[in-house]
Structure 1
Amino acid sequence: MESLGDILKAWPSGEQILRIAEQKRTELLKDPLIISLRQKHPALTDAAINVNMNRLHQYVSEHRNCSQCPGLDQCPNDFAGHYTMLQVEDMNGTAQIIDKKVSCKKLRARQHENQLRSRIRSFYVDDKALKRNYSADEIIGNDLERAKSVGELLKYIDRTKTEGLTAKGLYLAGNFGVGKTYLMCFVLQELAKSGYSGVIVYMPDFVEDLKVLMHEPAKLKETVDLMKETDLLVFDDIGAENLNPWVRDHVLGAILNYRMERKPTFYTSNYRLADLESHFSFTNKDGEEHHKGRRLMNRVAPYVDELVVTGKNKRGKL
C-alpha cells in the first residue's frame, strides 16, 4: 500500500501544472477551428482568448466528437444531441466570445420523426408499420404488380398537398398480404409531413374493444370524437370484424355521418367495395338487415375511389 507521502510526491508540482496547461493552450490555439475563428474575428485579443479557454476547449472537443459521431444515443457531448457554437460580439468596444448550444442534424431528424409520429394515432395496428421509413421507389420496387395502385396513391398525396383535404378518401381492396395496410401507413406518413393528423384502426380488434367501451361512456366519446375530428381516418381490414347493430349504427354510423362531407376516410379490405354492403347488412345479433346495411354503405361508397391492390402475399416480409 502506498504511503500518503508517496502519493503526494507523484502529484505534479505547481511548475509541472503550469507547463501542462501551457502545452494544452498551445495545442488548442493550433487547432484549425480556433485558427479559423481568430482569422474571422481579428479583433479578438490574446486576453479575450485566455479568459475563454474553457469555451474554446469545449468548442473544439465537441466538434471532434461530432466528426466521429457514435450515434445520438451514445452522444459524448455535455448536452446530448447538441454541440457548442461560438459567436464574437462587440461589447463596449471589446470583442467578447459568446457560446451557445446548437442541436445537431441527428437530433433534429429524430425530433422531426417524433413530430410526424405524434400526428398519427393507431388503434391495434402494429407500431412497426408506422415507424418504418417509407419511400415510393421501395414500395414500387418491392412488387411491380402493384405499381398502378401505388401511382394512384402518389397522385392522391400530391393532390392533397397541393389543394388540401377533400371529403373523398380511398378504398384499397385486395387479397391477403398484398400490402394494403403498408400502403395506407405510407399515405399517413407522407401527409403527416404536410401537417395532417391521422388515425388508423384495425377493425376486428376495435369492434371487440367497443364492447368494453360501452360501459365507459367518457372514454367511448373521447375515442369516437378523435375519429370524427382527425384529418385522415383509416379503417384497416374492414369486413373482417364481427358487427353488432350498436357498433354498426351508433358508432360507425355516427363517425361516418360526421365525416362524409367534411374529411376523407380510407379503408383496406379483402372485400371489393360492391360486396361490402352484404357484410354491413348482417350482424351476429339480428341477422340480415338490408336497409341498415344500405344506409351505412351510403356513407362509404360515394366518398371513396376504389383501388384494387394486386401482387404477391408478403406477410412476414414487409
Structure 2
Amino acid sequence: MERIDRVVSPIREKLNRRVNLEQRLQELLTAREVKAFRMEHPEVPQEVYRRSIGALHQLVEERGHCDQCPGLENCPNLMQGHQPELAMYGGYLDLRLQPCPKLIAKEKERNRKRLIKSHHIPTDILSATFSSITPNNARKPAIIAAVKFCQQFAQKRPERGLYLYGTFGVGKSRIAGAMAQKLVDHQVDSLMVYVPDFLREIKESIRDGMIQEKLDALKKATVLILDDLGAETLTPWTRDEIIGALLQYRMTEKMPTVITSNLDLDELEDHFAYSDKGGTERMKAKRLMERIRPCMDDYCVEGPNWREQG
C-alpha cells in the first residue's frame, strides 16, 4: 500500500496542479483587461492563454493596483508608474509596459520646469494660463497677440516680440506668464525675469565675477520675458552695458523678446534718457529704443485690476 501511494501521490499532485491552473485560468479570463483583449483579438486560441498564465496573472494583479492607486511614489507594480498591456510575442502573450497617467503628468511637470525658468517671479504669475485670465474687451487684443505669438512656434520662431504696457494690476505679467506656459506646448524654453530685482542682483555680482554668466543666460533664452521694465533704478552702466547689450544681442540674433511695463514706449524712452548725474542723455535713450521699437509689437493692456476682479 505504501509503495502504491509513492507512485500515485505525485500523479495526484500533478493532476491537482492542472486543475488549479485551469481554475485560475478561467478566473483570469473573466478579468476586465483580459476580456477586452480577447474581444479585440478573437483569433488568439485558448491554448495561448493557457501557456501565458503567468503574464495574465501579472496583468490582472498590477491593473488591480492601478484601480486602487496608492500614488506614484508608493506604486507597487513591478515597474513603478507603468501599466501592463497584453501583446502577442512568438505564440505567447507577454506584457508591454506603458507609463500611467500619473507618471505622464509628472514628466510633463518636470518638462515644464525644465523649459520655464525665472528669476524673482511670483508663483501665481508663472502658473497663469490663458484660460485663467478673465477676458474683457480691454485685454482682448493683447491676449490674442500673445496667443498668436506662441502659435507661431508651430511653424518657425518669430522674429518680432511683444511690448505689453499699462497701469498696475491690469494683467500684463499674467499674460506673460501664460505665454511661458503656452510655449511649453511647442517645446520652447523661456526665461522670465523681474527686471528691478535682476539688475540689483547683477550689481551684487560684480564682486563674484558672475555678471557675464548671468547675462548670457538671458541672451540665449529662446524667448526672454523682461517683466516690469522701467520700474528699475537706472545707472548709465545698467542701461548701456546690461539692458543695452542684452537687447542688442537679441536683436542681432533675431531672438524674440517680450517686455511688460507700466510705461508706454515714449515714456520708456524718457526713462532711459534720465541720468543719475543730472540732466538727460537723449541720444543714448534713442539708441536703446531702436532695439525695442523695430523689434516688437506694442499693445496697451487695460481693464480692471485683476487682483480685485480677476
What is the TM-score normalised by the length of structure 2? 0.81
C-alpha distance in structure 2 between counterparts of 1:316 and 1:82, whole Å: 44
Task: Return the alpha-carbon distance in structure 2 between the equivalents of residues 298 and 153 of structure 1.
Answer: 22
- 1:147 equivalent to 2:143? Answer no
Cα displacement (A) at 1:207: 0.9
Q: Cα deviation per residue 1:56-85 (whole Å; 9 max; x = unaligned)? A: 222113223434556545645343321112
**Cα drift, residue 253 of structure 1:** 1.1
The 1:304–1:34 alpha-carbon spacing in structure 2 relative to 1, beyond 3 Å, is: closer
Whichever residue aligns with residue 120 of structure 2, its letter is: Y
Deviations 1:109-154 (A, max 9, x none): 332343233122111112342234x244x4344x453123222323
Which residue in the other structure is 2:186 paired with? 194
Q: Any residues of structure 2 matched to 1:58-207 within 5 Å, and which?
A: 58-69=58-69, 72=72, 75-90=75-90, 95-132=91-128, 134-136=129-131, 138-141=132-135, 143-158=136-151, 160-161=152-153, 163-207=155-199
Classify the secondary structure of the residue corresponding to 2:203: helix
**CA offsets per residue over residues 159-186 of structure 1, 9 Å max, x none?**
x235522332111111111110110111
SS of equivalent residue, structure 2 residue 306: coil
Distance 2:142 2:36 in 1: 54
Secondary structure of 1:235's aligned partner: strand
Given candidates 277, 285, 291, the residue that maps to 1:293 is: 285
Q: Report the CA distance between 1:206 and its aligned residue.
A: 0.4
Unaligned residue ranges in structure 1 (runs of 5+): 1-13
The yes-or-no answer on 1:315 pairing with 2:302 is no
Aligned residues: 294
Letter in structure 2 aligned against 1:242: T
1:122 aligned partner, one-letter code: S
Cα distance in 2 between the residues matched to 1:294 and 1:52? 76
Quick one: structure 1 residues 199 and 317, their matched pair in 2 at CA, closer, same or farther if it must change by over 3 Å? farther
Structure 2 partner of 1:4: none
Partner residue in 2 for 1:278: 270
Q: Relative to structure 2, which stretch is displaced further, 232-241 or 120-129?
A: 120-129
What amino acid is aligned across from residue 29 of structure 1 in structure 2?
A: L
Query: CA 1:55 to 1:209, structure 2 compared with 1: closer, same or farther past 3 Å?
Result: same
Q: Distance in 2 between matches of 1:72 and 1:131?
A: 23
Q: For the Cα contact (< 8 Å) 2:230–2:262, is it kept in 1?
A: yes
2:231 to 240, 253, 270: 240
- Partner Cα distance (2:202, 2:146) in 1: 31
CA distance in 2, matches of 1:241, 1:310: 22
Q: 3-state SS of the aligned residue for 2:178?
A: helix
| Separation in structure 2 between the aligned mates of residue 181 and residue 310 of structure 1, nearest angstrom | 13
Q: Distance in 2 between matches of 1:168 and 1:252?
A: 18
Distance 1:163 1:287, change over 3 A: farther
- CA distance in 2 between partners of 1:317 and 1:69 (Å): 39
Question: Is the contact between residue 52 and residue 94 of structure 2 (CA under 8 Å) also seen in structure 1?
Answer: no
Q: Which amino acid aligns with 2:123?
A: D
The CA distance in 2 between the partners of 1:99 and 1:231, in whole Å, is: 41
Q: Deviations over 1:17-49 (max 9, x none)?
A: 979887655432332433454562655565x65
Residues 308 and 35 (structure 1 numbering): CA distance in 2 closer, same or farther, change over 3 Å? closer
- Quote the residue 1:11 is aligned against: none
Range with bigger deviation, 192-201 or 72-81: 72-81
**Partners of 2:201 and 2:145 in 1: how far apart?**
33
Do 1:41 and 1:88's aligned partners in 2 also have CA atoms closer than 8 Å?
Answer: no
Q: Check conservation: 1:242, 1:283, Cα contact below 8 A.
A: no
Partner of 1:269: 261
Task: Choose from 236, 249, 255 the match for 2:246.
Answer: 255
